[in-house]
Amino acid sequence: GWSDAEPAPKLLSETQARDYNYGIFSFRTGNIYTARMLRQWLGYAFDEAELPAEYWQNDKGRICDPLRPAIEPDGFVDQAEMRASRAATLAAIRQAVKGANVFVFTMGLTECWRNRETGLEYAMCPGTLAGEFDPAQHEFVNQGFAGIRRDMRAALKVLRRANPKLKVLLTVSPVPLTATASGQHVLTATSYSKSVLRAVAGELAMEYEHVDYFPSYEIITHPAYRGMFYAPNQRSVVPQ
């Protein structure tokens, strides 16, 4: 089974635990959509990179973590609570990586938002859920093959150092984009994103003996399956 390295505190009910995003991810990072976000989290967990000092405020004045702004439904009381919560997640990442046999990562997006000065990549665009968008400070980036491969190689290096026996299984998300900040039509933006991610995944699987690729993207999207694995919205993948 999958490793839940950051289980919910026993005082929370099952509903409360789900509301606070426990039991959904192996560690409470929220979705990690991009190679850079994976590299960032692993770098922070294994002391390869300095933790960012940046924080956001929501409309109630509470504190949100730019790395996972939706993880705490109402935000944190202050920066100290945010940092303590993040430290618990980083400890969970270390525990999970060191104790795992296989690390599964779904490559999801090429589009992202970053801090122009520090290079920090956010989980979502500043000013959407929390924080304020500043065009002088924040930039849209649509990542290319070389950059994604570089970030994935760096992430694989951290994983290998932490657990030399760890195998890595890559997949590509079959869920199409519903919107794009690239200026292109969402259909071509989706095609670009999936093509680049699939190409990187394939190259890494060929390059590294301990890395493999599972074709969930092909299983869901191939014309032979006539879209039967998509919900009526033609985006969500059905449980079956």
User: Taking the mean position of all CA atoms in its chain, how far away is CA 53?
Assistant: 20
CB 143 within 8 A of CB 35: yes
| Residue 233: how many other CB atoms lie within 10 Å | 7
Apex 137 CA angle, 132 and 139, nearest 5: 95
Side chain identity, residue 178 = T
- Tell me the DSSP string of 10-53: TTS-HHHHHHTT-SSSSSTT----SHHHHHHHHHHHTTSSPPP-
The whole-number pLDDT of residue 28 equals 95
pLDDT at 16: 93
What pLDDT sits at residue 1? 80
Q: What is the pLDDT of residue 240?
A: 87
pLDDT < 50 stretches in the chain: none
What is residue 166's predicted lDDT score, i.e. its pLDDT?
Answer: 98
